[in-house]
Amino acid sequence: MYTTAEDAGSSQSVKAQLRLREMILAGELPGGERIAELAIVERLGVSRTPIRAALMRLEQEGLLEALPNGGYAVRTFSQREVADAIELRGTVEGLAARLAAERGVAPAVLAQAHEGLDEIDGLLAAPALDDAAFTRYVALNQRFHNVVSAMAGSAVLARELERVVNLPFASPSGFVIVQANSPRARDMLVVAQDQHRQVLEAIARREGARAEAIMREHSRLAQRNLREALQAPHADIPGVGLIRQR
């Protein structure tokens, strides 16, 4: 297959974007610090053009802010900003669940969602979860949320939800790793799983208001995880160092 120079540049930009995001969340580029473009070029071994495209995309994601005199700096976030982002995600997901219930969902799609939850049940059957199980849970949890969003059959909502979950720390599993070191870890995931089941039941029964309320309540688990993350300053949670304490 023939690859154009434009394709190659786009691929380099995506790779640079992913690597820069990792560096920011790992604290390698501290919050508030100006990005030294030349140093990044040398560190990643990529030319300036894809680096600049990557920086622009990370600004659009909200991880960077443009400086008045040019260039970018790593953003920091107040606890309220993060909480608002999570609340917004819950609101949009709640609307998606309500529309899914009101418009109706094909049995095959509901069955697909239940199959994913069956896999989560398999993980939670163990008395304790190791790192591999938590990693698998995050993937299955994200898949469930994606399926519920798709059930609404709305391209507008899907686009807005994609934008919302790309806000820093707003994804459904943004703080689930907090639970990995908690003695209540499995119990908390069991609560989340029960809410998963309830929202599917509400959608299947065409109970729009109930589906919306459950999905919005479900996002409150992330709010609690946020508070616990900030109370454990030494927790190994990607990006938590970017959140300013009150």
pLDDT in the model for residue 162 = 84
d(Cα 183, Cα 180) in Å, to the nearest integer? 8
In a domain, residue 153? The reply is yes
Q: Which residues contact 132 (CB under 8 A, 6 or more apart)?
A: none
The amino acid present at 13, given as its one-letter code, is S
Q: Among 28-32, 94-98, 206-210, 222-226, which is the least confidently predicted range? A: 222-226
Show the CA angle centred on residue 100, arms to residues 187 and 137, nearest 5°: 30
Q: Give the CATH number, domain containing residue 56.
A: 1.10.10.10
pLDDT above 80: residue 8:
no
Higher pLDDT, 206 or 27: 206
Q: Environment class of residue 169 by beta-carbon count within 10 Å: exposed (0-12), middle (13-18) or buried (19+)?
A: buried
Average model confidence (pLDDT) across the chain: 85
- The residue out of 47, 75, 103 marking a domain boundary is 75
In a domain, residue 245? The reply is no
In a domain, residue 246? The reply is no
pLDDT in the model for residue 166 = 73
The amino acid present at 33, given as its one-letter code, is E
- Residues 120 and 175 placed together within one structural domain of the fold: yes
Q: Among 67-76, 90-99, 203-212, 220-229, which is the least confidently predicted range? A: 220-229
- Residues 100 and 50 placed together within one structural domain of the fold: no
In a domain, residue 179? The reply is yes
d(Cα 181, Cα 28) in Å, to the nearest integer? 23
CA dist 133 → 122, 125, 195 (Å): 10, 11, 20
- Residues 65 and 103 placed together within one structural domain of the fold: no
In a domain, residue 68? The reply is yes
pLDDT in the model for residue 176 = 60
Coil, strand or helix at 152: coil
Q: Give the CATH number, domain containing residue 129.
A: 1.20.120.530
In a domain, residue 150? The reply is yes
pTM of the predicted structure, to 2 decimals: 0.75
- Residues 15 and 100 placed together within one structural domain of the fold: no
- Residues 103 and 56 placed together within one structural domain of the fold: no
Mean pLDDT of 75-90: 88
In a domain, residue 241? The reply is no
In a domain, residue 104? The reply is yes
- Domain containing residue 14: 5-75
Dump pLDDT digits (tens) for 55-82: 998 888 778 999 998 899 998 888 888 8
pLDDT above 60: residue 212:
yes
- The residue out of 13, 40, 75 marking a domain boundary is 75
Portion of the chain with pLDDT greater than 90, in percent: 42
Higher pLDDT, 58 or 93: 93
- The residue out of 75, 94, 127 marking a domain boundary is 75
101 falls in which pLDDT band (50, 70, 90)?
A: very high
- Residues 22 and 90 placed together within one structural domain of the fold: no
Quote the number of domains for the chain.
2
* Cβ–Cβ under 8 Å, residues 103 and 97: no
pLDDT above 80: residue 40:
yes
Q: Among 67-76, 94-103, 121-130, 231-240, which is the least confidently predicted range? A: 231-240
Dump pLDDT digits (tens) for 140-191: 999 999 999 999 999 999 998 888 887 767 888 766 655 555 556 678 889 9
- Residues 61 and 85 placed together within one structural domain of the fold: no
d(Cα 132, Cα 137) in Å, to the nearest integer? 9
